[in-house]
Amino acid sequence: MKRIPLIAANWKMHKTTAEAKAFITLLAEKTASSQRRIYIAPSFPAIEGAVNAVQDAEMTSKILIGAQNMSDHAEGPFTGEVSATMLKHSGARFVILGHSERRQYFAETNACIQRKVQKALYTGLIPLLCIGESKHERESGHYESVLSLQLEECLKDVNAQQMAQLLIAYEPIWAIGTGENATPKIAQQTHRFIRDWIEKKFGHACSEEVYLLYGGSVKSDNISSLMQQTDIDGVLVGGASLDVNTFSAIVNY
């Protein structure tokens, strides 16, 4: 099965609503002839403006707006939190869950991420689940068991039908924001490992449908070699997604 390349942007804590809108208007022009799928995750306050900008540019079938995180609770006294339902009503279509910065700085565990995956699915948001190992786990050869555990625990109670809708981003922690991206060979081998894991658990058809994105220092000069790999269906871009010219070049690789 052919999976259409999917280029996702994680803007992290960057861009006001006005900046997000201006970016999307330009991106729509620069990628007008591209067939690729584009996902953009602005900060919470900029989501609605970004959704409107996509509608104004008549790109709703190609550019999807989503969030970078959400609460694992449905609603209640959780000051500062944002629920899946609120995101859905803002026009978000997907949500990044389990990013390593959330795990590292906000103490998110696999159990917490699993509850978020369930809430997202229940609410009709596409979960974009991030997994990845540290440098030490890679070098000591334990990365496969680390990734298996993250998949096992975060995807608990997900069925094959739901799994086929999910996106998985493999983001080795040592490659995020460091400029040291995984070589296409390492990324491919690890993506193959993840697809095999999915096949064993959810069956062959599901493993062929599910999108596996690579993330970690993706740039316009390494995108082609990454996307040539059989099991890399797309990328999740942080730093290089902030400039519209750079990001358009990645989309149009």
Binding residues for ligand PGA, rule: CB under 6 A, are: 10, 171, 176-177, 215-218, 236-240
Give the residue with the Cβ less far from ligand PGA, 57 or 65.
Answer: 65
Which region, left, alpha or beta, applies to residue 98 given φ > 0 means left and ψ of -120 to 50 means alpha? Answer: left
The structure tokens listed for 167 are: 């996106």
Q: Which residues contact 57 (CB under 8 A, 6 or more apart)?
A: 24, 25, 28, 29, 63
| Rounded Cα gap, residues 37 and 121, in angstroms | 20
**Dihedral, CA of residue 74, residue 78, residue 80 and residue 83, to nearest 10:** 0
Min dist. Cβ of residue 156 to ligand PGA (A):
24
**99, 101, 108, 133: which is the annotated catalytic residue?**
99
Dihedral pair phi/psi, residue 64, rounded to 5°: -110, 135
Q: How far is the CB of 25 from ligand PGA (least distance, A)?
A: 23
CB closer to ligand PGA out of 155 and 236:
236
Q: How far is the CB of 97 from ligand PGA (least distance, A)?
A: 12
The residue from 108, 133, 171, 191 that is catalytic is 171
Residue closer to ligand PGA, measured from CB, 177 or 203: 177
Catalytic residue flag (residue 171) = yes
- 21: its two tokens: 């809108």
Whichever of 49 and 215 has its CB closer to ligand PGA, that residue is 215
Nearest approach, Cβ of residue 204 and ligand PGA (Å) = 29
| Residues acting as catalytic residues | 99, 171
